[in-house]
Structure 1
């Protein structure tokens, strides 16, 4: 029996199991539909006021900033949408404003701006007792729109932002375990702050994401790939302990010794499916001497020379870069352009140049066929300064700062992430590419696929998001996560995506360009069809995937899905925690308000 058949049988059996559970516990189940404002069961004003008092006045009534823009000039709002810190500090907004034909960012009716575990418990108990749709938002970077829903109660963790460094941490209940250097972060901490505290100030490394405004909690629950994943593994694999408030309102410790099933599930099982994480403690690592960048852009003079260039760069990657030193992107674009943006760790600038010299020599020998549109750049910096805002301020074009009056001088984000702030997605798909494609017998087919896909839309190999090539000890740790096992055999995650600038339905002159979006989505689909001809059942990364993925259980988690569903049933049997294509979401309507029969 293959993996797909196994999962289909499991999915088919799930309703039988659920129906037996329903029969035995029918009197304890919530109503078939969650309530909305105006419904008979919607909480009274007195009930909301009581919740507000319980959380010390941190209950917020939300309205969309776009509500006041119809027919008036909202130039300042549209300008602010390019600042990810503005988006993150506005509980009615999300970092991505929508996906054409999929979802649009809508504010919750109320939010609890939680600052403590006690606040989270109060919000969860209120939502459960009043049968409300519940949403969780920290960084708010979900491409699938899972951190927003109209007519809901939002648990907004942005203000839970403490960071504590540990020289020797032992998880609760694991007293015989070897102490490890670690960092504890609140649920609202962003990776930029985590790196600044751990690396800049404490001289250690914590494995996290590349985008500095992504939330730590969300990334951990998605698995978490950073630029140096082949060296340090998944961010989720560094998790030593978490505090999770589950659907019954209990604050539970989750680690290898206490609630180990919950601990495993939140390490890659998807954000907001098992509870609200309030605190995470992550293992930290010794810093290498240097982190650095290697970048260049090459244009081929013809289709045939571009095919040769693709074949050569993949051969070079297999021989020289397929190791823990290198990560990040090789991009194949229309117009026969190859864009290289690779990061390295543990070597200096001279060693990085020496690594690439054979490839550069090959280009020079065939200079009539290829032209450098952006000359090779090799930069190495002391690792301790890689996320140091004061150091990066002196590097031209590297970062942008939060430009709001009174904003922290530490609020930085990579210039390359600017176009993602307030974006509207048109399409987004990904696929794990197995390392076997790098072998001499399959490399030609790999190059042909990359060329064919680039005829429709640019495709990027995120080499840091495939764990093949990592050391055995790293692979051993990441296998103890809920991440799709396909990632462990992959040398890269291929991503093909399209999007547009900030836009919002119903605002004249600012509406999404639906025609362009659908054309872009069609091009993404055609490019990915070329990929799937070579890798039919590749699977994909839950955080960077197609909103419309049909077989999402298998695509996101592979053979781990049945186990994740078991954990879901133990800690959230009534499905309080719902997100689009989250564990157990097949039991609910697409908006999470109606239970399916």
Structure 2
């Protein structure tokens, strides 16, 4: 923590010295926000002797960077850090413009040694550490007047590069970390009859803190699995799935209110009773699109007793994977109906439900336990567990915290929502298992099956995510990537290969994917992300952002010819 603090404050001091020499319009912007404009410095800059960016080589700061490169709780505190490192780079140049070290061997000095040069890439040139609505309003006015691209960055968890852009100004919302609980929250402008228990979450609060807050207040909130994701940021505006989504709904199902600054400069409250069209759009239309959310209020449920099932075998036992998938595919609709949500890797499954008692949970999971146990004579990695925990907080700390998505590498995804129809009969189940095995054979990282769909929460028309979420059993993610700087040809090949891997699942499923964890080149993305809702979303976008100041890759109303996307491959 000390090293992280040293690095942060050194970067801030350097930023202020750079701004004094900035062009006049930037200096004027800095003055207008009380001197809080900062220079965007790539995270690994202190490790490089040669650079085309602000900053300088510094052994102490470099050691902090190397120690924290794969630690999301460190990265989330650094503006110049991106969990998936290619989004700090300009990938499209013949020799990609980067400022990266290796994630798999952070002590290797090769990427940062001369003649390698730290370059700005897609890290925004400047950023505002947002404190209140006026900061955002000022930034919108500056962007419109000067034609400077604007991006919104929160925690840096971004699989499709929405929070970075070359030559841009960023709004960093991570420091907005307030949390408060109101057992009778009434959305502004609504009658008292609307009162519900709600937690108001600042845009920058992270899952770790939100789960701990809920536990301290004896309540339950839906949250993502990765510790440093922002539940009030892009996670919720893109849908927001979590282990309890099966019975409690997606994050968007539970939002009671947003406080948002729109690109026209208005600071609005959006809920069922005012600005209801914007409220609907923010509940699934995507982050960084309709406005900058400063906080949201989420529905709180009582503390829940949960049943947990876990089964695993050795990852090296690849001969067992097909049989494992066959068992999962055979029983997953039943488990979904029983409220189970969870996370599946090719050699393990973690499930949790609030709907059953311990006896019922163990009985329904017996086919899974039987299969994994049958592997034991030849597999010393076999493990099964059926247990009860008193709250989601205990489940999170015991089974999830610290085991989220890898960071510090360049990650590429292919995404698919797999509906119940694919589990409906012997033929469709066999086809699904075949597709899973083919996908797995073509990924370079992993294939994750996320059983966190709102299967028991019907679509009531109040959200703008694709309707396909409601009939999906799994959200499948094909994962690939590369480590550190790489040639353009290798980058392109990785994107193509992972998209091709996902094609095995696309071939047997409708157009539906989770926008926050999607293929950068998702085919037919308007339908895949939003189903029938895209035309209405576009109308709302044009109403609240008529100048398209907020535009991001595959977001509502995006222009693929915009120069801000010049670094995509």
For the Cα contact (< 8 Å) 2:305–2:388, is it kept in 1? no
Q: Does 2:74 match 1:83? A: no
Please give the secondary structure, in 2, of the residue aligned with 1:543.
Answer: helix
**2:307 and 2:362 mapped to 1: Cα distance?**
14
State the match for 2:533 in structure 1.
560
Please give the secondary structure, in 1, of the residue aligned with 2:131.
Answer: coil
* Closer, same or farther: CA 289–484 of 1 in aligned 2, 3 Å: same
For the Cα contact (< 8 Å) 1:580–1:590, is it kept in 2? no
Deviation track 1:113-165 (CA, whole Å, cap 9, x = no partner) reads 11112222222222223222111111121111111122111111111111111
Residue of structure 2 aligned with 1:361, choices 362, 370, 377: 370
Q: 1:64-103, aligned counterparts within 5 Å?
A: 64-71=42-49, 74-98=62-86, 101=91
For the Cα contact (< 8 Å) 1:190–1:212, is it kept in 2? yes
Q: Which segment drifts farther, 520-529 or 481-490?
A: 520-529
**1:384 and 1:357 mapped to 2: Cα distance?**
23
Residue of structure 1 aligned with 2:403, choices 416, 437, 457: 416
Residue of structure 1 aligned with 2:383, choices 367, 375, 378: 375
State the match for 1:313 in structure 2.
328
**2:293 and 2:318 mapped to 1: Cα distance?**
52
Residue of structure 2 aligned with 1:259, choices 257, 275, 279: 275
For the Cα contact (< 8 Å) 2:499–2:519, is it kept in 1? no
Deviation at 1:300, TM superposition (A): 10
Deviation at 1:82, TM superposition (A): 1.6
For the Cα contact (< 8 Å) 2:237–2:252, is it kept in 1? yes
Deviation track 1:349-380 (CA, whole Å, cap 9, x = no partner) reads 55543332243335556878x74633113343
**1:166 and 1:291 mapped to 2: Cα distance?**
28
State the match for 1:14 in structure 2.
none
For the Cα contact (< 8 Å) 2:127–2:172, is it kept in 1? yes
State the match for 2:175 in structure 1.
159
State the match for 2:104 in structure 1.
none
* Closer, same or farther: CA 324–231 of 1 in aligned 2, 3 Å: farther
State the match for 1:3 in structure 2.
none
Please give the secondary structure, in 2, of the residue aligned with 1:60.
Answer: strand
**2:340 and 2:297 mapped to 1: Cα distance?**
26
Deviation track 1:152-203 (CA, whole Å, cap 9, x = no partner) reads 1111111111111111111122125431000111121112212211x22111
**1:177 and 1:349 mapped to 2: Cα distance?**
37
* Closer, same or farther: CA 340–519 of 1 in aligned 2, 3 Å: farther
For the Cα contact (< 8 Å) 1:299–1:372, is it kept in 2? no
State the match for 1:20 in structure 2.
none
Deviation track 1:406-456 (CA, whole Å, cap 9, x = no partner) reads xxxxxxxx3322x6222212x310111111111125222222322333333
Please give the secondary structure, in 1, of the residue aligned with 2:287.
Answer: coil
**1:493 and 1:379 mapped to 2: Cα distance?**
25
State the match for 2:16 in structure 1.
none
Q: How many residues matched?
A: 505
* Closer, same or farther: CA 593–123 of 1 in aligned 2, 3 Å: farther
State the match for 1:10 in structure 2.
none
For the Cα contact (< 8 Å) 1:91–1:107, is it kept in 2? no
Residue of structure 1 aligned with 2:32, choices 38, 54, 61: 54
State the match for 1:331 in structure 2.
345
State the match for 2:549 in structure 1.
576
**2:521 and 2:318 mapped to 1: Cα distance?**
35
Residue of structure 2 aligned with 1:181, choices 187, 197, 200: 197
Deviation at 1:301, TM superposition (A): 7.7
**1:593 and 1:312 mapped to 2: Cα distance?**
45
**1:583 and 1:531 mapped to 2: Cα distance?**
25
For the Cα contact (< 8 Å) 2:310–2:348, is it kept in 1? no
Deviation track 1:223-246 (CA, whole Å, cap 9, x = no partner) reads 111111111111011111111111
For the Cα contact (< 8 Å) 1:230–1:324, is it kept in 2? no
Residue of structure 2 aligned with 1:140, choices 131, 143, 156: 156
State the match for 1:343 in structure 2.
352
Residue of structure 1 aligned with 2:517, choices 544, 553, 563: 544
* Closer, same or farther: CA 169–492 of 1 in aligned 2, 3 Å: same
For the Cα contact (< 8 Å) 2:312–2:372, is it kept in 1? no
For the Cα contact (< 8 Å) 1:327–1:344, is it kept in 2? yes
Q: Which segment drifts farther, 213-222 or 105-114?
A: 105-114
Residue of structure 2 aligned with 1:203, choices 218, 221, 246: 218
Deviation at 1:309, TM superposition (A): 4.2
**1:295 and 1:450 mapped to 2: Cα distance?**
19
State the match for 1:429 in structure 2.
414
**1:106 and 1:144 mapped to 2: Cα distance?**
13
Q: 1:507-526, aligned counterparts within 5 Å?
A: 511-512=485-486, 520-521=494-495, 523-526=497-500
For the Cα contact (< 8 Å) 1:291–1:386, is it kept in 2? no
**1:593 and 1:517 mapped to 2: Cα distance?**
15
TM-score by length of 1: 0.77
For the Cα contact (< 8 Å) 2:149–2:564, is it kept in 1? no
Q: Does 2:458 match 1:475? A: yes
For the Cα contact (< 8 Å) 1:292–1:348, is it kept in 2? no
Residue of structure 1 aligned with 2:336, choices 322, 334, 337: 322
